[in-house]
Amino acid sequence: IEQLYTALQTVMKAGKAAPFRQRYDMLAPVIARTFDLDGILENSVGPRWATLPPEQQSALKDAFRRYTIAIYVTNFDTFSGQRFEVQPNSVPTGGDQIVQTRIVPAAGEAHRLDYVLRQVGGSWKVVDVLADGSISRVAVQRSEMRTPLTNGGGPALLDRLQKKTAEMSGGQPLP
């Protein structure tokens, strides 16, 4: 999480003066190391995941990776003196660990972000992010994905992720 925050702060300090693609390329490897994006996507889609053909699953994984990185590039695009604080001790919950953090602005109230980590392939990876200690990003995404999945299945969700990513990146192609 500290590596993620170091990368986010670097991208924030670069700000919009740095092209979107440059900031994207800076964050992509850190997000890939930090998050279990495949697991988050599968959990967000829910039981329908198992019914999607393998080629749709693969396309959705690629689109979700680009979408997630683009969200971070978009949401962390300016620096105004804020800092990130990682609490020294994680909190065990079942087989997971919760790393408690705060984003502290130069002035105003701090925002709590907790990261739920799980052992995946021999290393700890983020499987959910909790805003204010309780609002699950996976639950929010599941809700956002429900309509396209219900109305058009995997292809509709893929189209939605690609359109949202294109909006955030200004239409730039992303790896």
State residue 134's pLDDT score. 87
pTM: 0.93
Task: Name residue, tokens 């979408």.
Answer: 67
pLDDT of residue 51: 95
Residue 173 has a pLDDT of 83
Taking the C-alpha atoms of residue 21 and residue 31, their distance in angstroms, rounded to an integer, is 15
Q: Given this model, what pLDDT does residue 172 score?
A: 81
Q: Round to whole Å and give the CA distance between 13 and 11.
A: 5
Where the chain has pLDDT below 50, the residues are: none
